[in-house]
Structure 1
Amino acid sequence: MDFLKILKSFEEFVYEALTWVILLPRTLVRTLLHPDRMTAYAAHELARTDDARFSDAVSPPLLLILCVLLAHLFDLGVRAQVPDTSGSLASVILASEETLLLYRTITFGVWALAGAAYVLMRARQPVNRDSLRQPFYEQCYLVSPFALLLSISVSLLLMPQSWANLTSACVTLTVLAWFWVAQAAWFRRRVRLSWWRCFGAAAIVLAVGGTVNLVVGYLLAHTAAGAIASP
């Protein structure tokens, strides 16, 4: 009986994974072209009580995880150099593919969490596990292509070729502009602020997420791996 349950679970996983071949690129393209529609779609699907939620798209958190995974595979294929982090906490994270993927997912999730928390505070709503879910899911749709393209641009930046550096700069500027405008439009729909305040709020979210990641990255790179084990 246990063996049959394992086979059934494996069957469901294989089918789900194969549907990603169609749903993943379609969800990404729809998000890039119509980010406001996709955030509204996330809110609509979360309100459903049946089992058919997100049946025609990849769910927002899963999309973020898959985008991080795709960016990681791209990084493995093109990276020419790896930063020297020997002896630091960063080396512990980089030593395992699982922890590295988890770390990258969380780092990009910081932007989604910052956007969700900001809109709740702006609307004077409580910030808790339940209230964060809907805006966080909506934010995950916006953060996913941002995570994929920004990670690819960083990987290109580590390549020695001049064309790679130029491409990295163009991709970075493009995805930052897209994310900034998409965030501003989302704030406009959620909290009904003026456009200039929405763009200011989007800039704050970008700055908060970037600052948190820079600080955490600096601490990981400059903290000895044995420090956390010391009494």
Structure 2
Amino acid sequence: MKWLNSIGDLLYEVMSWLVFYPVTLWRTIRRPLETMTYADRELRDSAGEQFTDTLNPPLFLVLSLFLTQAVGVAMGGGVNPIVAQKTGLAALISDDASLLLFRLILFSLFPLLMATRMLRARGIALTRQRLKPPFYAQCYACAPFALFVGVGTSLAHTTVVAAQWAGTVLAIGAVGGYLTAQTIWFEHHLQSGRARALLNAMRVFAEAAVAAVAIALLFVLH
């Protein structure tokens, strides 16, 4: 009976994602700053009362990356080149599960560096406890960015010209939307002007992008 109850709890948890994923996505796109502030507030509650009406931020990011991977497969992307490559560090990525983990690490650089930058700009010492709230908030902002960049990239690699254009526009729009959300977030937390907030957002975005590309190249080049 304990085993059956565990299966029932797991089934409910997974099926509830079908409801709460689009709810969380819509709230994040529509009101990014409010959703990120909500993440800070929820972490102050007891563990059982946190994120009861949305997905928790890390799970939201994981599911978004899973969807991008599923879309790529559905569009006939075939076997990812990194998975197909069996030499060097690429040998560590042998299936879709390890590829998902690899993508998660790359995109998690953005929340990590954004959160770190915010604490440093406010003169707050870095600790695990202090880094967690801004990191969770940043996972909310990063998930739509990762989803739409991934879907846009998959569309851009199809043979249909219209889909290629749509994918390019979607990916560029995702970057623009992400930088806009970050600008608003930095402006709110640092009490700075819009120009300074934008510079902070662009600086950290560039740092995270360079780090992600550098790590990816280690697995591609051999």
Quick check: TM above 0.5?
yes
Does the CA-based 8 Å contact 2:150-2:171 persist in structure 1?
no
Q: Which whole-Å CA distance do the structure 2 matches of 1:76 and 1:113 have between them?
A: 28
- The 1:135–1:105 alpha-carbon spacing in structure 2 relative to 1, beyond 3 Å, is same
Aligned equivalent of 1:19, options 12, 16, 20: 16
Q: TM-score, normalised by structure 1?
A: 0.90
Question: What SS class does the counterpart of residue 74 from structure 2 fall into?
Answer: helix
Distance in 2, matches of 1:88 and 1:128, equals: 38
Confirm whether residue 42 of structure 1 aligns to residue 35 of structure 2.
no
Q: Which amino acid aligns with 1:200?
A: L
For 2:88 and 2:17, locate their aligned partners in 1 and report how far apart those are by CA, in whole Å.
34
Cα deviation for residue 50 of structure 1 reads: 5.1
Q: Distance in 2 between matches of 1:115 and 1:9?
A: 37
In structure 2, stretches of 5+ residues that fail to align are none
Question: Secondary structure of 2:48's partner?
Answer: coil
1:203-214 paired onto structure 2 within 5 Å: 203-214=202-213
After TM superposition, give the deviation of residue 160 of structure 1 in Å: 1.8
Paired residues of 2:155 and 2:164 also in contact (CA < 8 A): yes
Distance 2:77 2:160 in 1: 10
What is the Cα deviation at residue 133 of structure 1?
0.4
Q: Which amino acid aligns with 1:23?
A: F
Cα RMSD for the two superposed structures: 1.6
Is the 1:112–1:136 Cα contact (8 Å) retained in structure 2? yes
- Per mean C-alpha deviation after superposition, the further-off stretch among 150-159 and 88-97 is 88-97
Amino acid paired to 1:103: F
Higher relative contact order (CA 8 A, sep 6+): 1
Specify every segment of 5 or more residues in structure 1 that has no aligned partner in the other structure, as ranges: 224-231
Runs of 4+ in 1 over 4 A off after TM superposition: none
In the other structure, the counterpart of 2:48 is 51
The AA in structure 2 aligned to 1:166 is W
Give the distance between the partners of 1:103 and 1:207, measured in 2 at CA: 20
After superposition, the C-alpha distances for 1:174-197 in whole angstroms (9 at most, x for unaligned) are 111100010010111111121101
Distance 1:126 1:154, change over 3 A: same
Over the matched positions of the two proteins, sequence identity in percent amounts to 26
